[in-house]
Structure 1
Amino acid sequence: MAESGLSRLKALERTSTSDRISSELRQMIIEGALLPGEQLGEARIADQLGVSRAPVREALQQLVQQKLVVATRNKGVSVVTFTPSDIWEIYDARCAIESHAAVRILEGGPGARVRATDALRTALGALSAAVKRGDPREISTTDLSFHMTLVATADNSRLVDAYSILSAQALTCINRLEIVLPSGEEIIDDHGALIDALATGERDVVVKAITDHLTVAATNLTTRPA
């Protein structure tokens, strides 16, 4: 039997909290070290980390709320399996948040728009550097960071919190499916087009650009080669 990804866990310092445990497990799920359907037993995790079961239970509950694990009566907690329907829901919600964030930026006037486009150009530079290095997972992570930058510049912490959860779900799906990414030039052009749309100051233009961009991404994730 293959060794579980849980073997990566190491004992935590006594000052560690359920947030630290949740963060570690969350990253392992995103990276694929913990596989869909894999059981996450409280006792085993607590023993491996050298902590009591209480913070582990709290950490797993956080992950349930983030929809990265599922709790089933009489079966315990296991890593979530995302269906095509789940993926479309994730990207539909991403579209709603990103579009709302963009509209808030536009409502903030020219100054807010300039600050947002400047921040996005910096994020695009990081994405371009990742593309040049050629690591697909780094590209996907930096891609999501670009979109998080858009949401963050709307100055609404609740939007950021909600988007962070969706971002983790999306990145988990991307890493699991190991899709063939568009060419580096296409990735940069597509994200540059989002900046250009925001720079127009036209609500309909930027919302359409975001919707089209995320629809293509969701389609790529849910349409597997024959």
Structure 2
Amino acid sequence: MDTLSRAGLSGAAVNELREEILEGRLTQGERLSEVSLSTTLGVSRAPIREALLHLEQEGLVVSLPYKGASVVTLSQQDFLELSTLRISLEKLAWARAMERVTPEAITDLNAIIADMQFAVKSDQKAKLVRLDLDFHERVFIMADHSRLYTAWTAIKWQVALFLLARRVKVDDYHNIIVEEHAELIEAILKRHDPAFEQLIDVHIGSGYGRLSTIV
């Protein structure tokens, strides 16, 4: 029971700290003190230490000798690597998803689009980041390729951190998110639309390009 309780506390700390980072309350480069976080979250240092290790594996936290843990800071090189890798992964995911799409899957994607529209209208900018991830997550699941999905999950939270940085520094995200994702749904409905790769290049590549010019 002690092991289960500790695992539960560690998981709860992971979720709480991840949300703090993705909501922008813990900013890039900010130091993460085990003592301070232990006090804030009301748990011992052991679950906090395990949570920080988990977040380091997700790419949201970096730990350096003699300096401790801090929220990762994404550089221009990071943006470039995320962009090129994600484009390659997304193209394979969408190509496979087009062959496996179902009416139920389209309904789910359209429901996310509707949530995006509401979030834009109600100025829930942080929620847009999560909805963006959820949309692409569904496509990777639809692709039915376990190793591809593993590759996606390895960068997913750093993609979220990028989207947060873009939302803060480049004020165009909420203006284009609904339209661009709706276009992607149209492409998947056409099954073998040769233009879908160009859509992905624009959807992903242009955002990274705009942000990298001001980082």
Where does residue 124 of structure 2 map in the other structure?
135
Report the residue type matching 1:136 in the other structure: K
SS at match of 2:143: coil
Q: Deviation string for 1:85-143 (max 9, x for gaps)?
A: 212222323223322221222343xxx35444333222222212222223333333323
Shift of 1:56: 1.6
1:221 has 2:211 as partner: yes
The alignment's C-alpha RMSD in Å is: 2.7
Picking from 16, 36, 42, the partner of 1:44 is 36
Contact 1:37 1:78 survives alignment (8 Å): yes
Report the residue type matching 2:117 in the other structure: S
Matched-pair identity in %: 32
SS at match of 1:16: helix
Q: 1:27 to 1:164 in 2, by over 3 A?
A: farther
SS at match of 2:163: helix
1:196 has 2:186 as partner: yes
1:19 has 2:19 as partner: no
Structure 2's unaligned 5+ residue stretches are: none
TM-score (norm 2): 0.82
Q: 1:190 to 1:48 in 2, by over 3 A?
A: closer
1:30 has 2:22 as partner: yes
Contact 2:31 2:70 survives alignment (8 Å): yes
In 1, Cα distance between the equivalents of 2:211 and 2:102?
31
Q: Which moved more, 1:212-221 or 1:186-195?
A: 186-195
Report the residue type matching 2:124 in the other structure: D
Contact 1:144 1:171 survives alignment (8 Å): yes
Shift of 1:171: 2.7
Picking from 191, 194, 197, the partner of 1:207 is 197
Q: Would you say how many aligned residue pairs link Structure 1 and Structure 2?
A: 209
Shift of 1:203: 6.2
In 2, Cα distance between the equivalents of 1:58 and 1:166?
20
1:69 has 2:69 as partner: no
Where does residue 136 of structure 2 map in the other structure?
147
In 1, Cα distance between the equivalents of 2:180 and 2:125?
17
1:180 has 2:171 as partner: yes
Structure 1's unaligned 5+ residue stretches are: 1-12
Where does residue 98 of structure 2 map in the other structure?
106
